Amino acid sequence: MQLGRIALLLITAAMPAAAGVTDTTLDNGLRVIVKEDHRAPVVVSQLWYKAGSMDEHNGATGVAHVLEHMMFKGTGKVPDGQFSKRIAAAGGRENAFTNRDATVYFQQLQKDRLPLSFELEADRMADLQLKEEAFAKEIQVVMEERRLRTEDNPHAVVYEQLMSVAFQAHPYRRPVIGWMDDLQNMRAQDARDWYQRWYAPNNATLVVAGDVDPQEVIALARKEYGRLANKPLPVRKPQDEPPQRGEKRIVVKAPAKQPYVLMIYRAPGLDDADKDVMPWAMQVLAGVLNGNDSARLDKRLVKEQRIAVEAGASYDGISRGPGLFYLDGTPSEGKSAAELEKALRAEIRRIQHAGVSEEELNRVKAQVIAGDVYQRDSVFYQAMQLGELATLGLPLDLLEKRVDKLKAVTADQVRAAARLLTDDRLSVAVLDPLPISASARKPSMEVKHAR
């Protein structure tokens, strides 16, 4: 018995994963990642649960985020509100957020106050008291949050509506904050079920970054989190989206002063960190289009043609679900959304036909290299990246390899990436503004919902 335990400890002994990063897994399945950064005497602790809105089911959309709110409402040992009070009393900052892929809780503290964070966070992993009365109030707060971020924000409405059209089977079709009707019909038991199902050490990753000693952090994690029991997790079904059978289009009417167009292409996402090339080429493509003030969309559509007052491109390919490539923009006065859409498509076509120049490519790479240096200024951001990689099951050394992967992208690969952006993978939404002055009240890109 005794020997067995020691052997196990040896096997799971912390191994260096990437420069300055220690990665280990406790006996109960909790993965612990520590990133040393000794610039300031502070520490951030983030607990990532692999449970986001994509794990929800119809009728209970938004429950991942609602539970996140309820996690501050008290345990057997720590009464309602005292989590925040105790962190605040220790000089800490704390909050949480939910996205499609995960729910994340974090605290930032002076380095010697990390034990408090672990004590409180471990406590609420297993002992949340989800009371009816607290739930009844908090669900009202969440509905206000939905009104604030989505219902009264025309671009957010466009995004929500278009995602629900771009995907028919995959759960990315559902908004993180949940449909209003589901929120109105949600019960405390829905949140309890969610908590029971997904909150367990073997469904979580603890990321600690800052002025700490990795072995001490791991020992502390073992003390506070190590006693929690793991539990069997539900089987995750892929829910893959069937092939798209042609372009999709919607019109969204909402009170606004200007039209807006949003285009979403289904694109390859990163699966194999060693072999995949297209996700990196897609990222460079987004940089060529929109990575700086001289990038193509700004240069051609905003500055030269003046067809848009804003135009953007972005790629989201590091996620649990399918990759997505976005184009969007607001037409200039006197120009229509249709004209802007045509111009955006023309920019994609130009790259499909003529590719990109070495100069453009090098410019994007220079920004990648510099950005890699600048990000060291934020310990929080570094922890975010580690948590994301871990939650996605990607190797942590991608944090460094990422730069080399991007530097290796060729002009031909960027063109090949652009050629994947075909009409049959596209969904388009156009915002048709309703007047602001009239009291026409209509229902209504929020991926992340902080508490």
Query: Within positions 153 to 212, which residues make up the interface with another protein, using CB under 8 A?
Result: 153-154
Q: Report the nearest approach of another protein to the CB of residue 332 (Å).
A: 6
Residues 6+ apart with CB under 8 A from 362: none
What is the footprint of another protein within residues 327-346 (CB under 8 A)?
330, 332-333
Q: Report the nearest approach of another protein to the CB of residue 279 (Å).
A: 22
**CA 66 – CA 56 distance, rounded (Å):** 12
**CA 349 – CA 14 distance, rounded (Å):** 49
If the CB atoms of residues 30 and 256 are measured against another protein, the closer one turns out to be 256
**H-run or E-run covering 180:** helix 180-184
Candidate list 12, 84, 129, 230; residue touching another protein; CB under 8 A: 84
What is the total residue count of the chain? 451
Residue with tokens 């460079």: 284
Query: Is residue 132 a contact residue for another protein (CB under 8 A)?
Result: no
Candidate list 147, 342, 353, 419; residue touching another protein; CB under 8 A: 147
Candidate list 59, 115, 127, 144; residue touching another protein; CB under 8 A: 144
What is the footprint of another protein within residues 293-312 (CB under 8 A)?
293-295, 298-299, 302-303, 306, 309-310
Choices 22-30, 236-244, 336-344, 359-367 (CB under 8 A): range interacting with another protein: 359-367
Candidate list 23, 56, 121, 151; residue touching another protein; CB under 8 A: 151
Strand partners, 42: 110
Structure tokens at 263: 């285009």
If the CB atoms of residues 39 and 349 are measured against another protein, the closer one turns out to be 39
Candidate list 35, 50, 65, 113; residue touching another protein; CB under 8 A: 113
Q: Report the nearest approach of another protein to the CB of residue 90 (Å).
A: 6
Q: Which of 68, 341, 347, 360 is catalytic?
A: 68
Q: If 0-12 CB within 10 Å is exposed, 13-18 middle and 19+ buried, where does residue 129 land? A: middle
Query: Is residue 76 a contact residue for another protein (CB under 8 A)?
Result: no
**CA 97 – CA 75 distance, rounded (Å):** 20
Give the interface size with another protein as a residue count (CB under 8 A): 81
Structure tokens at 192: 């309890």
Q: Report the nearest approach of another protein to the CB of residue 119 (Å).
A: 12
DSSP 45-91: EEEEES--GGG--TT-TTHHHHHHHHTTS-BSSS-TTHHHHHHHHTT
Q: SS in 3 state form for 361-375?
A: HHHHHHHHHHHHHHH
The packing angle between helices 63-70 and 188-198, to 10°, is 90
If the CB atoms of residues 5 and 39 are measured against another protein, the closer one turns out to be 39
Cα angle: 59, vertex 62, 64; to 5 degrees: 115
Q: Report the nearest approach of another protein to the CB of residue 364 (Å).
A: 8
Residues 6+ apart with CB under 8 A from 374: none
If the CB atoms of residues 23 and 37 are measured against another protein, the closer one turns out to be 37
What is the footprint of another protein within residues 407-446 (CB under 8 A)?
433-442, 444
What is the footprint of another protein within residues 55-74 (CB under 8 A)?
72
Candidate list 12, 25, 82, 202; residue touching another protein; CB under 8 A: 82
Query: Is residue 90 a contact residue for another protein (CB under 8 A)?
Result: yes
**CA 430 – CA 292 distance, rounded (Å):** 25
Q: Report the nearest approach of another protein to the CB of residue 109 (Å).
A: 8
What is the footprint of another protein within residues 375-394 (CB under 8 A)?
376-379
Q: Report the nearest approach of another protein to the CB of residue 197 (Å).
A: 26
Binding mask 230-269 for another protein (x = CB under 8 A): -------------------------xxxx-----------
If the CB atoms of residues 227 and 306 are measured against another protein, the closer one turns out to be 306
Q: Is 432 helix (H, G, I), strand (E, B) or coil?
A: strand
Residues 6+ apart with CB under 8 A from 2: none
Query: Is residue 81 a contact residue for another protein (CB under 8 A)?
Result: yes
If the CB atoms of residues 196 and 292 are measured against another protein, the closer one turns out to be 292
Candidate list 367, 410, 416, 422; residue touching another protein; CB under 8 A: 367
Q: Report the nearest approach of another protein to the CB of residue 201 (Å).
A: 26
Structure tokens at 287: 């940089």
Q: Report the nearest approach of another protein to the CB of residue 251 (Å).
A: 17
Query: Are 259 and 336 contacting, i.e. CB atoms less than 8 angstroms apart?
Result: yes
Please give the order of strands across the beta sheet that includes 260-267.
248-255, 426-434, 260-267, 323-331, 308-316
Assess whether 132 carries a catalytic annotation.
no
**CA 303 – CA 294 distance, rounded (Å):** 9
Other C-beta atoms lying within 10 Å of the C-beta of residue 91: 11
The packing angle between helices 398-407 and 278-290, to 10°, is 70
Query: Is residue 19 a contact residue for another protein (CB under 8 A)?
Result: no
Which residues are the active-site residues? 68
